[in-house]
Amino acid sequence: MVIDDLIEIAEKERAARKKYVIRCCMAAGCMSSDSKGVKEALGKAVKEAGLEDQVEVRGVGCMKLCCQGPLVQVDSHGEGATVEVSGDGPGPLYQKVTPEDAASLIGTLKGGQTKVQRGDPKAPFFTEQMSIVLANSGIVDPERIESYIAAEGYQALHDVLREMTPKEVLDAMIKSGLRGRGGAGYPTGLKWATVAKTASQQKYVICNADEGDPGAFMDRSVLESDPHSVLEGMAIAAYAVGAGQGFIYVRAEYPLAISRLQTAIKQAKQHGLLGSGIFESPFNFNIDLRIGAGAFVCGEETALMASVEGKRGAPRPRPPFPAESGLWSCPTLINNVETFANVAPIIRKGADWFAGIGTEKSKGTKVFALAGKITNTGLIEVPMGTTLRKIVETMGGGAPDGGKIKAVQTGGPSGGCIPAAALDTTVDYDSLTKLGSIMGSGGMIVMDDTTRMVDVARFFMEFCMDESCGKCIPCRAGTVQMHGLLTKILGRKATARDLQKLEELCDMVKNTSLCGLGQTAPNPVLSTLRFFRKEYTELLQEDIYGGPSGNGHGNGNGNGNGTEEAFAPMI
Amino acid sequence: MIATLSTKKKNRLPQVLEHASGDKRFKILEAHIKKLQFKQDALIEVLHKAQELFGYLEDDLLLFIAYRLKLPTSRVYGVATFYHFFTLKPKGRHTCVVCMGTACYVRGADKVLAAVEDKARIKAGETTPDGELSLLTARCIGACGLAPAVVYDGTVTPRQTPDTALEKLKGWVDHGH
């Protein structure tokens, strides 16, 4: 493979483009509403209408508005295209399509009418998005490498291998200001530089695709919709740090993502874009898949590496950090799926372009999975610094059925609940941390006024209790005790003393646990206590032995120690 | 189980191998292990394959894997019990996995689960005595846009309510009531 071959594939692919491209969402969400049947029916209808030379039915990745699936969109190219849009570009979007609708949909290409529900591509849900990571999602066919190459795929890898030194790649990454998208937000360039500095002969690159946070499905969508962008990002990273072997650690719960990755790796190897002597340079790089087996703790990097080595996924103390001593004690670079998906666009369009997006300390965009009590559930990608209100109310359409939004939960079991009063907060690493939540991997769950916050706190505590690996005592025993206390509070059997004990335990588990799971397990409790303390105190019983301070008064107006914090907007 | 593995390992090995020699699935598994070059770090991959072939991981199977990968049985047993995905008990003919991720939970997955538990008279994680249905919960299957989601025999089904779930289970748990 040389650059001419790459250009040839891209040109051939573009030349083969037909007048109409009917894109049919084939991500896991729409697949569960029979989008596969829709695609087959569309193909059949095209044949019956005799339009095979004009129409291509393409299975694509996630088209973002998951709640209205299966989604189908018709694009037109070239002269004489009649689909209601003047000129080229995306045309009408159809929602909740069934296989029976196929014939009438194809009929519209010949001027017919259809009763299929129309979506609005001009709705804020779509227009307010800014796609970098999801640029190819819903556009390219994830099962064909040619489709990705036609969308400028693997050009960044070529430029890096042939025209840049590893040092230049590192400098570009540092300059771009990209921070890890897995949750903690460590600067990606610095992490790469640390691994690059080590003298070891053997280094590894790992892609963390163990998306365990309940309520998050961004990584799944990226892997299903655009697997090659992750492979390309990993290869660039491997060149920059000097690694020869990569692993992608995927959850077993994502069978479609696994099969698309397997296909993508096979195709990349066939085209000489993985393997030895890539683009006729001395650079060799291979990627193997590792399938997880359902352990949340394996999202923690040291536990993940233990799992890649075929062991139980138990974390170990850091330092040494994986960048110095990771997989099989070799220096290891470990990044999240979304982080790797950002790499190729940064190289292609330049670090300055990327650094121009977002806020001062958080650059670029972030993908969020909107779910819960919200009208438009699905995937969104917005620049850092967008307000929560814009995401939830303008793009998400607010709570359905006239409900009122009460809180937004970000960061899964490690994050917190942000009250509705704080919706004007901007989304970036630092603002969310100030509110006691975290950016996390990008799950955003909206809760309305029917959701009880103590119940939510117990739900997450139960999760952490089950998922604790049992290696360190604060997490193993602490989560059980906290869960017991929360159950007691919910059962209206607790007193102010129990609440005080709960807070003490939160502090202890947070500060003494070994890994991120335990250190962040109390966050949902702490943040609900901070903003919704009244819901806890209302459930408290009078302490017949006299509480430590300020007895909780049986019903309603109990005042535990400490008061609910009213939210004061920053700045 | 632990006692069986630790005290009787030596005595049982010939028995295990004899058992294995008469079962085609062991041959497929062995070929898979060979493909992975008998690498010890491929243990999780091997266990995945074994569960796919046998449905669950029985004692003989774990002993066989330990023998082939030259790993201590304690290590194989430790890994097999650590990960939720692996099961050491046989599953029912049908499986029903209720997603209990946050998005599904706030949209009422707990009510769906309660309805199914009530109907099938088992708790999550159990199998009905007649071996027809295994009821499981998942931590999040990533179908949050379609909450609450339930997976019936491998098919993800969106937007479930207690009524639609019970409708789906008809024929699986109907016996006698």
Q: Is it the case that residue A137 has pLDDT exceeding 60?
A: yes
Q: How does residue A549 score in pLDDT terms, banded at 50, 70 and 90?
A: low
CB atoms within 10 A of CB A450: 13
A223 CB within 8 Å of a chain B CB: no
B141 pLDDT more than 90:
no
The residue among A423, A352, A346 whose CA lies nearest residue A391 is A423
CB distance A377–B43 less than 8 Å?
no
CA distance A441 to A218: 8
Strands (E), A274-398: 286-291, 332-336, 365-372, 378-383
Q: Which residues in chain B have Cβ-Cβ distances shorter than 8 Å to A309?
A: 41
The answer on A293 and A258 residing in a single domain is: yes
CA distance B137 to A356: 44
DSSP string across A346-379: HHHH-HHHHHTSB-SSSBSEEEEEEEES-SS-EE
Q: Which residues of B touch A252 (CB under 8 A)?
A: 48, 85
* Cis amide linkage into residue B148, ω under 30° from 0: yes
**CATH code: domain of residue A89:** 3.40.30.10
Residues of B in contact with A370 (CB under 8 A): 145
Give a yes or no: residue A556 inside a domain.
no
Dist CA A408 CA A421 (whole Å): 10
**Of A137, A217, A466, which to mutate for an interface test with B (greatest number of B Cβ within 10 Å)?**
A217
Calculate how close chain B gets to A296, using CA atoms only, in Å: 9
Question: Please, what sign has the CA dihedral across residues B115, B121, B124, B128?
Answer: negative
Find the mean pLDDT for residues B160-170.
91
Contacts for A481-489 with beta carbons within 8 Å, 24 or more apart? A481/A505, A482/A506, A482/A509, A482/A521, A482/A522, A482/A525, A483/A458, A486/A454, A486/A457, A486/A458, A486/A461, A486/A525, A487/A458, A489/A454, A489/A536, A489/A539, A489/A540
Which contiguous run of DSSP H or E holds residue B8?
helix B2-21
pLDDT at A370 over 80: yes
Window 156-175 of B, Cβ < 8 Å to A: 156-158
Are B44 and A307 within 8 A, CB to CB? yes
CA distance A188 to A185: 8
Helix axes B2-21, B24-35, angle to 10 degrees: 100
**Window 144-163 of A, Cβ < 8 Å to B:** none
Digit-coded pLDDT (tens) for A315-356: 999 899 999 999 999 999 999 999 999 999 999 999 999 999
Looking at the structure, tell me whether residues A415 and A460 fall in a common domain: no
Cβ contacts from A onto B, under 8 A: 138
**Distances from the Cα of B176 to the Cαs of A520, B135, B165, in angstroms?**
48, 19, 19
* DSSP letter, residue A560: -
- Shared domain for A205 and A232, answered yes or no, is yes
Residue A159 pLDDT class (50, 70, 90 cuts): very high
Report yes or no on A41 lying in a domain: yes
β-strands B150-152, B94-99 pairing:
antiparallel
Check whether A89 has a pLDDT greater than 70.
Answer: no
Residues A488 and A531 in one domain: yes
The 10s digit of each residue's pLDDT in A8-17 is 999 999 888 8
Range of the domain at A299: 153-355
Check residue A86 and give its pLDDT. Answer: 39
Residue A78 pLDDT > 80, yes or no? no
| Higher per-residue pLDDT: A2 or A190 | A190
Same domain, A476 and A433: no
Residue A361 domain flag: no
Chain B residues with CB under 8 Å of A225 CB are none
Q: How far apart are CA A375 and CA A432, in angstroms?
A: 23
Kindly report the backbone phi and psi dihedral angles of residue A323, in degrees, each rounded to the nearest multiple of 5, phi listed first.
-60, -25
Rounded to whole angstroms, the Cα distance separating A398 from B65 reads 53
Outline where A50-187 has alpha helix (H).
102-107, 124-127, 145-150, 155-163, 166-176
Residue in A28, A312, A372 closest to B107 by CB = A372
Write out chain A residues lying below 8 Å of B79, CB-based.
Answer: 310-312
- Do A61 and A110 have their domain in common? yes
Whole-number pLDDT of residue A406: 95
Residues 109-148 of B with CB under 8 A from A: 138-147
Instruction: Give mean pLDDT, residues A117-145.
Output: 93
pLDDT tens for B93-104 read: 999 999 998 889
Rounded-to-integer distance, Cα A491 and Cα A471, Å = 30
Residue count of chain A: 571
Confidence of residue A44 (pLDDT cuts 50, 70, 90): very high
Q: What is the arithmetic mean of pLDDT over A90-118?
A: 88
Class for the domain spanning B94-169: alpha beta
Compute φ and ψ for A242, nearest 5 degrees. 85, 35
CB pair distance less than 8 Å for A66 and B145 = yes
The answer for A402, left when phi > 0, alpha when psi is -120 to 50, beta otherwise, is left
Residue A85 pLDDT: 42
- Alpha-carbon Rg for chain A, nearest whole angstrom, is 25
Contact assignment for B106 to A312 by CB distance below 8 Å: no
d(CA A517, CA A471): 11
Q: Are A195 and A332 in contact (CB under 8 A)?
A: yes
**Shared domain check, A476 and A434:** no
How far from each other are the two terminal CA atoms of chain A, in whole angstroms? 54
Mark yes or no for CB contact B45/A291 under 8 Å.
Answer: yes
> Residue B106: which of A443, A447, A463 has the nearest Cβ?
A447
Closest residue by Cα to residue A22 from A7, A1, A49, A9: A49
CA distance A349 to A329: 35
Mean pLDDT of chain A, nearest integer: 90
Q: Which residue of B has its CA nearest to A312?
A: B79
Instruction: Show me where the domains of chain B are located.
Output: 2-82, 94-169
A215 pLDDT more than 70: yes
Residue at a domain's end among A355, A388, A403: A355
Chain A CA closest to residue B139: A214
- Asked if B155 reaches chain A (Cβ–Cβ under 8 Å), the answer is yes
- Geometric angle at alpha carbon A532, from A528 and A534, rounded to 5°: 130
Residue type at A337 in one-letter notation: V
Question: Looking at beta carbons, which residues of chain A come within 8 Å of B145?
Answer: 29, 66-67, 69, 217, 369-371, 377-379
- Across the interface, whether the CB atoms of B106 and A445 are under 8 A apart is answered yes
Question: Which pair of structure tokens corresponds to residue A123?
Answer: 């709705």
User: CB distance from A308 to chain B under 8 Å?
Assistant: yes
Of B102, B139, B142, the CB nearest to A28: B142
What is the arithmetic mean of pLDDT over A49-74? 92
- Residues A177, A111: one domain? no
A33 touching B (Cβ < 8 Å): yes
Q: What is the pLDDT of residue A175?
A: 96
Does the residue A146 lie in any domain?
A: no
Q: Does one domain contain both A372 and A345? A: no
Mind telling me how many Å the CA of A71 is from chain B's nearest CA? 13
User: Helical H runs in A130-187?
Assistant: 145-150, 155-163, 166-176
SS3 (DSSP) at A14: helix
Q: Is A463's CB within 8 Å of B139's CB?
A: yes
Burial class (CB in 10 A: 0-12, 13-18, 19+), A512: middle
Q: What is the pLDDT, as a whole number, of residue B91?
A: 86
Residue A237's domain is classified under what CATH number? 3.40.50.11540
- Residue A561's pLDDT is what? 47
The alpha carbons of chain B give a radius of gyration, in whole angstroms, of: 19
CA geometry: angle B16, B21, B27, nearest 5 deg? 110
Cα–Cα distance for residue pair A455/A487, rounded to 1 Å:
9
3-state secondary structure (DSSP) of residue B134: strand
From B78, B102, B145, residue closest to A29, measured CB to CB: B145
CB contact under 8 A, B155 and A32: yes
Other Cβ atoms less than 10 A from the Cβ of A199: the count is: 6
Helix (H/G/I), strand (E/B), else coil: A432? helix
CA distance B54 to chain A (A): 16
Residues A181 and A235 in one domain: yes
User: Is pLDDT of A255 > 50?
Assistant: yes
Residues A104, A113: contact at Cβ < 8 Å?
Answer: yes
Query: What percentage of residues in chain A have a pLDDT greater than 90?
Result: 78
Could you say which residues from 351 to 390 on chain A have a Cβ atom under 8 Å away from some Cβ of chain B?
A: 369-373, 377-379
3-state secondary structure A67-80: HHCCCEEEEECCCC
Confidence of residue B51 (pLDDT cuts 50, 70, 90): very high
> CB distance from A94 to chain B under 8 Å?
no
Residues in chain B: 177
- On chain A, the residues whose CB falls within 8 A of the CB of B75 are 311
Among the candidates A390, A416, A448, a domain finishes at A448
- Least Cα distance to A220 among B82, B156, B49 occurs for B156
One domain for residues A48 and A159 = no
Q: How many domains does chain A fold into?
A: 4
Is a pLDDT exceeding 60 seen at residue B85? yes
pLDDT for the residue numbered A337: 96
pLDDT value, residue A553: 44
Going by C-alpha positions, the residue among A257, A251, A260, A264 that lies closest to residue A290 is: A251
**Residue B171's pLDDT is what?**
79
Closest residue in chain B to residue A293, using alpha carbons only: B85
Residue of B nearest to A461 (CA): B102
Please tell me the distance in Å from A32's CA to the nearest CA on chain B. Answer: 5
B-facing residues of A in 457-496 (CB < 8 A) are 459-460, 463, 467, 469
Q: Which of B48, B141, B144 sits opposite A369 (nearest CB)?
A: B144
A565: in domain: no
- Quick check: A475 and A296 in contact, CB under 8 A? no
Structure tokens at B62: 């774990």
Under an 8 A CB cutoff, do B139 and A313 touch? Answer: no
Contact call for A32 and B156, based on CB within 8 A: yes
**Cβ–Cβ below 8 Å for A69 and B44:** no
pLDDT above 90 covers a percentage of chain B that reads 54
pLDDT digits (tens, 9 = 90+) for A283-302: 999 999 999 998 999 999 99
User: How do B94-99 and A118-119 pair as beta strands?
Assistant: unpaired
User: Is 60 exceeded by the pLDDT of residue B3?
Assistant: no
Query: What gap in Å lies between CA B115 and CA A430, rounded to an integer?
Result: 43
DSSP B42-103: GHHHHHHHHHHHHSS--HHHHHHHHHHHT--HHHHHHHHHHSTT--SSPPPSEEEEEE-SHH
The predicted pLDDT at position A485 comes to 97
**Residues A372, A340 share a domain:** no
pLDDT category, A565, cuts 50, 70, 90?
Answer: low
Contact B82 A378 (CB under 8 A): no
Sorted by sequence, the CB contacts under 8 Å of residue A288 that are 6+ apart come out as A245, A246, A247, A248
User: What are the DSSP calls for A210-258, one per residue?
Assistant: ---STT--HHHHHHHH-HHHHHHHHHHHHHHHT--EEEEEE-TT-HHHH
